[in-house]
Chains A and B, each alone.
Chain A
Amino acid sequence: MDLTRRQFVQATGAAAAGIAFSGLGANLKPVEARAGQIKTQGAKQTTTICCYCGVGCGAIVHTRQQDGRVINIEGDPDHVINRGALCSKGAALSQLAESPNRLARPLYRAPGAKEWKPVSWQWAIDTIARRVKTTRDANFLAANAQGKPVNRLEAIASVGSAALDNEECWLYQAFLRSLGLVYIEHQARI
């Protein structure tokens, strides 16, 4: 089984190129025969790196074409660090993606309210942007107590996140620093 999976990924090159594909390569007869019986038949296959600890294990994600949901996630045998192995959390990755406990839509809690209220993305982004601007405009510090120019904003703080991708982290810190934030912290500090 491992061997056929390896051939599967290598033959299509999909993992390296990041191109989604469906079905099996026409030159892989034995694999085709086998795939007829497995639930990942016809699935889109992508590689990922586990989202938990810092080892950086590779995994293969099978996604159903019909509804775009995960069928299975398992260790990537061609990943040179984990060679297909995963720990208990890594082995449960598909339950993370498909958890019914996941947040489905933006929620809002008004001051003093006892409940969440579902809101639209547009309302949430517009309202948060307005809060950011109002707080920034009212609290921006051009100079510190000694009169030295500092151009900073201490009234807004941010924590997060090692759960973001590098590109998202970079974009996030650029945004926060453009606003003048200095209270920028995340998991690495704790």
Chain B
Amino acid sequence: MTNHWIDIKNSDVILIMGSNAAENHPISFKYVVEAQNRGATLICVDPRFTRTASKADIYTALRSGTDIAFLGGMIKYILDNKLYDEEYVLGYTDAAMLVGESFDFKDGLFSGYDPKKRAYDKASWALMRDDNGVPRRDDTLEHPRCVFQLLKRHYARYSLPLVSRITGTPEKDLVKVYRTFAATGERGRAGTILYAMGWTQHTVGVQNIRAMSIIQLLLGNMGVAGGGINALRGESNVQGSTDQGLLFHILPGYLATPSTAWPRLEDYLKRRPKSGDPLSANWWQNEPKYIVSLLKAYFGDAARKENEFGYGWLPKLDAGQAYSWLDLFDAMHAGKIKGFFAWGMNPACSGSNAVKTREALAKLDWMVAVNLFDNETASFWRGPGVQPDRIGTEVFLLPACVSVEKEGSITNSGRWMQWRYAGPKPRAESRPDGDIILALGRKVRELYRAEGGAFPEPVLHLKWDYEGPHGEFDPHRVAQWINGYFLEDVKVGDAVHRKGTRVPAFALLQADGSTACGNWIYCGSYPEKGNLSARRGQEDAPNGIGLFPEFAWAWPVNRRILYNRASVDAQGQPRDRKDWVIRWEDGKWVGDVPDGPWPPLGDLKKPNPASRWPFIMTVHGFGQIYGPGLNDGPFPEHYEPLECPLERNYMNAQRINPVAPVWEGKTDAFATCDPRFPYVATTYRVSEHWQTGVMTRTQPWLLETQPQMFVEISEELAALRQFRNGERVRAVSARGAVECTVIVTKRFKPLKLGDLVVHQVGFPWHFGWRWPESGREESANLLTPSTGDPNTRIPETKAFMVNLQKV
């Protein structure tokens, strides 16, 4: 989230699309309802009439997987009716920048497409720059190559009738939603978007969010209270685990994983693009300080200037190669992976195409599963249809503690790092995950020390002194190294920071090895004055917008609303006088921690040279309506899901995203416009269960309230196929089958796409054969396909095709 949970109450219009917050983030609704009580309008757009929809002032349905068509229509509506915030668009976004002549878009393809590689050469999308490397501009916004005009041209095709034919949403509903949300372009009004996996789990996932980002920039909704782009994260620490780099492509703090593109540290240190604009903070140019400080945290004294601080010890990816979830299980399925850790995860139910995943697990030599409960992954060798004596995989199942039995921090969706304490003792022989990791690392290091082995340096030099007095894992020690230390006396300005003290803020990190920091965005969370994530201060901001700056700690530097310098005008005065976030007063900023200390711009035509443009994380300092860095194009374009009910894309000549990853193995089958699989399907969650359900299917109250796998279908589909409420059916896709109980409901309605009538059905994905003990309830991911977004490679589990059969 650029903003945070409490901030939702400051919104004037809340759009919930790609999320069912009322069901899946129930407490968030305290703030949605509070906003409504203060006069805000809630809009819900969802294939199904959800619990969120039941609270909405405006609800409308769309076909799953057509969000870009829906949002592209809104972009067109805003531009056609001049509802954008012109001052903001001109001053704070890239709308006036000129795009190079080689950029083009034709027949659904952007320039630079290579059909053999299914990839774009992005060089043709570059901005025009002057001799100093500053992007060229046309402040009249009339130049045919300026971003604003290209945007207009791109979305000119997204007319109401065409959008309606693709999405199935009636034109009058489209206009109602567009008009209501676009009204937040008015100065002093804020609109927010709450989205979740309903937007990310598509072959166009990133571009769904980009489309909304364009809308938020046009309307001046970024940086303000009650605005922003807000991803509602589904797990208590999925924000933190991402921040800490538990993904193939990032190290802690969103530093890129080293690859063959940067074989030496010096290559890595030079990798970030420069801006020729002296007013661009271009914050990522500080990356050298963060990577060197991280290497010092990894390898301690062994990381020295002479050995590139141990950069050579880190594994390198092959440049351009993905090692993501889908790629991982494809490699495992091909027998290339021998050993596997499933740590606090249940991939036999959680990932797309679980049929393939379960087959892949059987190819392993060994697997370590760490969990609170036995689950479908750990016990895959005794699952339905599996003969244990034919499975050669050795499995270790280790009991972990429940969170209340251990101490440490987690980071919520609003980037708040919050400390928790150990209450009960670990039950039976269960252990904190940290203890297990520490003990395993200790033993592996012991073996390498005693016996040597392949490339032992990184194993032996890894700093591994995070023990308490009894050899147990000490979360405070790790938290302090994540925060960072001065390793030598460091003089910055007039101040000398003493060796052995903790770094108070990331601006003080160094690239010469004199500081260590495990994660630069968490620098300042645990300074000398103590553990700020444990704070419980009850005082709010003076205007009551819910910042609570002394409750817990938010990254970065306790900033509660990102890009907040875009919430003020050039004089540093809030665009929204009432719900202001920061303001320039007597020569300093007051309010939230500003996005950098620089003074206001002053005059946009002749800005103060000491100031900086507000979007400090982008190269040139402006909000990016034009996104030339993505793999699938600078503007979001509607493509159909890999599996869809249409023979062609009504918007352009490409049916699916031309760069979406597609696998072609036997288990990767897909079926489009195939009479065997006529219904559009999607997956979702219910309040009473969580993720694959391992932690909730095992509990009596929660299992009683939601006891079994179901499929929701419309009354019309039930009549057509003569399905009765409560009867068991088999849902089938091109990959697998799942038995479900039918729920006939008004929540789904058939959609009209022109003359075509399309039925949608929906499944919860919480179930699996291990619990409940009946063994009859299975995972919806046995149905979902092997494809995903070409940028994130998040699988497309929100739009696929199925059929339902009588059992």
Answer whether A46 and B421 are a contact pair too, CB < 8 Å, given A140-B455, A160-B345, A171-B466: yes
Q: Is the CB of A177 within 8 A of B420?
A: no
- Write the chain B residue with the least CB distance to A85: B27
* Any A CB within 8 A of the CB of B639: no
- The interface bits of chain B over 411-438 (1 if a CB of A lies within 8 angstroms of the residue's CB, else 0) are 1111011111111110111111110111
* Any B CB within 8 A of the CB of A28: no
A187 to B358, CA, bound (A): 17
- The interface bits of chain B over 185-216 (1 if a CB of A lies within 8 angstroms of the residue's CB, else 0) are 00000000000000001000000000000000
> In the complex, what residues of B have CB within 8 A of residue A1's CB?
none
- The interface bits of chain A over 36-49 (1 if a CB of B lies within 8 angstroms of the residue's CB, else 0) are 00000000101111
Q: Shortest Cβ distance from A85 into chain B, in angstroms? A: 6
Answer whether A187 and B423 are a contact pair too, CB < 8 Å, given A51-B403, A161-B345: no
Q: Is the CB of B24 within 8 A of A128?
A: no
A161 to B347, CA, bound (A): 11
Q: Is the CB of A190 within 8 A of B794?
A: yes
Residue tally, chain A, CB below 8 Å to B: 120
Q: Give the segment of B388-396, B577-585, B663-671, B739-747 that binds chain A.
A: B388-396
> In the complex, what residues of A have CB within 8 A of residue B466's CB?
171
Q: Is the CB of A87 within 8 A of B687?
A: yes
Answer whether A88 and B702 are a contact pair too, CB < 8 Å, given A68-B425, A161-B241, A166-B479: yes
* Any A CB within 8 A of the CB of B508: no
A136 to B232, CA, bound (A): 38
Q: Is the CB of B339 within 8 A of A166?
A: no
- The interface bits of chain A over 136-151 (1 if a CB of B lies within 8 angstroms of the residue's CB, else 0) are 1101101010101111
Answer whether A89 and B402 are a contact pair too, CB < 8 Å, given A56-B418, A166-B240, A167-B409: no
Q: Is the CB of B24 within 8 A of A129?
A: no
> In the complex, what residues of A have CB within 8 A of residue B674's CB?
none
- The interface bits of chain B over 26-55 (1 if a CB of A lies within 8 angstroms of the residue's CB, else 0) are 111010000000000000000000000000
Q: Is the CB of B439 within 8 A of A125?
A: yes
Majority DSSP secondary structure for residues of A touching B: mixed
A16 to B530, CA, bound (A): 12
- The interface bits of chain A over 153-164 (1 if a CB of B lies within 8 angstroms of the residue's CB, else 0) are 111111111111
Of the four ranges (under 10, 10 to 19, 20 to 34, 35 or more), the interface on chain B belongs to 35 or more
* Any B CB within 8 A of the CB of A92: yes
Q: Is the CB of B332 within 8 A of A157?
A: yes
Answer whether A97 and B427 are a contact pair too, CB < 8 Å, given A54-B236, A80-B6, A160-B345: yes
A187's partner among B235, B316, B371 (CB-CB below 8 A) is: B235
Q: Shortest Cβ distance from B276 into chain A, in angstroms? A: 32
Q: Is the CB of B440 within 8 A of A125?
A: yes
* Any A CB within 8 A of the CB of B803: no
Q: Is the CB of B699 within 8 A of A54?
A: no
Q: Is the CB of A168 within 8 A of B437?
A: yes
- Write the chain B residue with the least CB distance to A51: B403
Q: Is the CB of A151 within 8 A of B315?
A: yes
* Any B CB within 8 A of the CB of A5: no
A56 to B5, CA, bound (A): 9
> In the complex, what residues of A have CB within 8 A of residue B459's CB?
178-179
Q: Is the CB of A187 within 8 A of B691?
A: yes
- Write the chain A residue with the least CB distance to B381: A109
B404's partner among A48, A135, A169, A182 (CB-CB below 8 A) is: A48
Q: Shortest Cβ distance from B794 into chain A, in angstroms? A: 6
Q: Shortest Cβ distance from A153 into chain B, in angstroms? A: 7
B423's partner among A70, A88, A156, A167 (CB-CB below 8 A) is: A70
Answer whether A183 and B337 are a contact pair too, CB < 8 Å, given A80-B551, A161-B345, A168-B437: yes
Q: Is the CB of A103 within 8 A of B235?
A: no
A166 to B235, CA, bound (A): 13
A171's partner among B428, B447, B478 (CB-CB below 8 A) is: B478
* Any A CB within 8 A of the CB of B448: yes
CB-contacts of A68-116 with B (<8 A):
68-70, 73, 78, 80-83, 85-90, 92-93, 95-99, 101-114, 116
Q: Is the CB of A157 within 8 A of B26?
A: no
Answer whether A83 and B30 are a contact pair too, CB < 8 Å, given A53-B24, A110-B394, A167-B478: yes
Q: Shortest Cβ distance from B229 into chain A, in angstroms? A: 15
Q: Is the CB of A104 within 8 A of B324?
A: no
* Any A CB within 8 A of the CB of B631: no
Q: Shortest Cβ distance from A122 into chain B, in angstroms? A: 9
A154 to B771, CA, bound (A): 33
Given contacts A51-B410, A54-B239, A157-B339, 7 further A-B contacts (CB under 8 A): A55-B27, A62-B423, A161-B344, A162-B237, A183-B248, A184-B323, A189-B325
A-B contact pairs, 26 of them (CB 8 A): A16-B534, A16-B536, A49-B236, A49-B418, A52-B235, A53-B235, A54-B239, A56-B416, A89-B696, A92-B699, A95-B700, A97-B402, A97-B404, A103-B373, A125-B443, A149-B316, A151-B458, A160-B246, A166-B244, A166-B411, A167-B408, A168-B408, A170-B245, A173-B244, A174-B462, A185-B247
Q: Which 7 A-B pairs have the closest CB atoms?
A: A56-B412, A165-B408, A161-B344, A160-B343, A54-B233, A103-B399, A163-B344
